[in-house]
Structure 1
Amino acid sequence: MASGSSTRDARQAKAVQMRAAAAKAEARRRTLVVGSVVLVVVLAIVGVFVVVQAANRDSSTSSAADPANLGGDNSIVQGKDTAPVKVVIYEDFQCPYCAQFEAANREQLVQMAKDGDVQVQYRPIAFLDRASTTNYSTRSLNAVAAVVNSSPDAFLEFHNLLFENQPEEGSAGLSDEQLVAYAVQAGADEATIKKAVDDQTYKGWTERVTEASSKAGISGTPTVKVNGTALENLDAASLKKAVDTALAAAQ
């Protein structure tokens, strides 16, 4: 009998040990499961934080910022709002035909605006990033926006300098340093323009105005409109004739 009792006691002790071992194993399993869930949640939170921070950085640099000192439809205006003739010019600073138009018409446009007959509305866009290796159209227009925002009186001179020093198609274009230097030569503040150029502060604006021009039916540059009518010929004589005709119609 004693031998049988000892055997039962041994079996019971063994069962107790097995249940204890099983309980410890289950506790370890639950700890691992809970730890894994917590780790996944933490990683998800970190991931969301990184995405939000990246989005904040992107929005702070390339931006929803629009330059100040713009006229209607994102125009950079030269001349009085009361002028009876509005000449609207869509240009790209990488476009060689735009440079030719400017060379042929710059002086008479300035004089017409001074006389009060014409308001010139420049609407530069960035169609031709593919024509450089560094997205020069966008970079130059971003620099122009920086000048218009901080030193609007320097715009026209900067505009002229960009066309006078226009890089060849397919090249890298003017460097950021050159863009800043020409802006300063035109009368803008160096530190202000450099920051906007380095940060591409107005890149988002360049994209928006370029998209808006496409929606408005602009398919090439230069496109020049005199009181809403697009010119077929862009030489100085054709522009003057169109302006004179519009002036006569306005009287």
Structure 2
Amino acid sequence: MVSGSSSRDARQAKAAEMRAQVAKAEARRRMLLVGSVVMALVVVIVGVFVVVQNTRRDNATASTATPAGIGAKNSIVSGPDSAPVKVVIYEDFQCPYCAQFEAANREQLAAWTEAGDVQVQYRPISFLDNASTDKYSTRALNAVGAVVNSAPESFLEFHNLLFENQPAEGGAGLTDDQLIEYAVQAGAPEAEIRTAVEDLTYESWTKRVTEASSKDGIASTPTVQVDGTALESLDAASLKSAVDAALAKAK
């Protein structure tokens, strides 16, 4: 026969055991909860780190991107390397005098390059951002970089379209959509051009080539050099005379 005291002790022991089990279960639950929170935080931290690193890498790539196919001294070349005469042209797509030079000399330059007599080295720069309300010089040159990178054979046609449709100084330049439209008209792929134009992928490159031209003593556009000698007069007759003299000397 079990006494009342023994029965009470047994109940108390049983209750203490149950409390201990509940406490252990609660401790395990808390540990699991803390572990889950820690794991979630780790996942978030790792995710943030990956995003930050990818953003840094993308920004670094954009800030240092240089169009493929750019030649020596930041030249975009038309005509064979074997041509005996080299004509270097520094231009800004916002510069009205550059547009005038192109209109007056484009056919002659094309004839010389097709004959293999002249290699034209275009070195476009962005001096004239202040001549527009939306940094058109930089935006146009960035678009040129995109075309040279993705469709170098389309450069000259795009170059000509930009000068033929040059905006007036003092206002807004061509819109991004217009730049893309002319690039596609010249034969460049729309998707690649749109990304580069809208993201200003080659903006840093435009600054670098402009700074390099300043270091080389280029103070105005257009500046035209025939075999290293800058022309004082940029009319068609002066250019032809200089090139004819250089060809005669080369022969």
- 1:238 alignment partner, SS class: helix
Q: How does 1:1-251 map to 2 (within 5 A)?
A: 55-56=56-57, 58-60=59-61, 62-251=62-251
Q: What is the identity, as a one-letter code, of the residue corresponding to 1:182?
A: Y
Q: What is the identity, as a one-letter code, of the residue corresponding to 1:103?
A: A
- Tell me the distance in 1 between the aligned counterparts of 2:170 and 2:56: 32
- Tell me the distance in 2 between the aligned counterparts of 1:187 and 1:143: 13
- Tell me the distance in 2 between the aligned counterparts of 1:53 and 1:75: 32
Q: What is the identity, as a one-letter code, of the residue corresponding to 1:76?
A: I
- Tell me the distance in 1 between the aligned counterparts of 2:224 and 2:126: 16
- 1:158 alignment partner, SS class: helix
- 1:93 alignment partner, SS class: coil
Q: What is the identity, as a one-letter code, of the residue corresponding to 1:145?
A: G
Report the Cα offset of residue 250 of structure 1. Answer: 1.1
What RMSD in Å do the two structures reach over aligned CA positions? 1.7
2:31 maps to none
Q: What is the identity, as a one-letter code, of the residue corresponding to 1:179?
A: L
- Tell me the distance in 1 between the aligned counterparts of 2:233 and 2:240: 11
- Tell me the distance in 2 between the aligned counterparts of 1:106 and 1:80: 17
- 2:67 alignment partner, SS class: coil
% same residue: 71
List runs of 5+ in structure 2 lacking aligned partners.
1-48
- Tell me the distance in 2 between the aligned counterparts of 1:220 and 1:89: 11
1:18 maps to none
- Tell me the distance in 2 between the aligned counterparts of 1:223 and 1:51: 44
- 1:225 alignment partner, SS class: strand
Which 4+ runs in 1 deviate beyond 6 A?
A: 49-54
- Tell me the distance in 2 between the aligned counterparts of 1:55 and 1:192: 21
Q: What is the identity, as a one-letter code, of the residue corresponding to 1:146?
A: A
- Tell me the distance in 2 between the aligned counterparts of 1:54 and 1:184: 29
Report the Cα offset of residue 59 of structure 1. Answer: 2.2
TM-score by length of 1: 0.78
- Tell me the distance in 2 between the aligned counterparts of 1:194 and 1:59: 20
Aligned residues: 203
- 1:123 alignment partner, SS class: strand
Q: What is the identity, as a one-letter code, of the residue corresponding to 1:215?
A: K
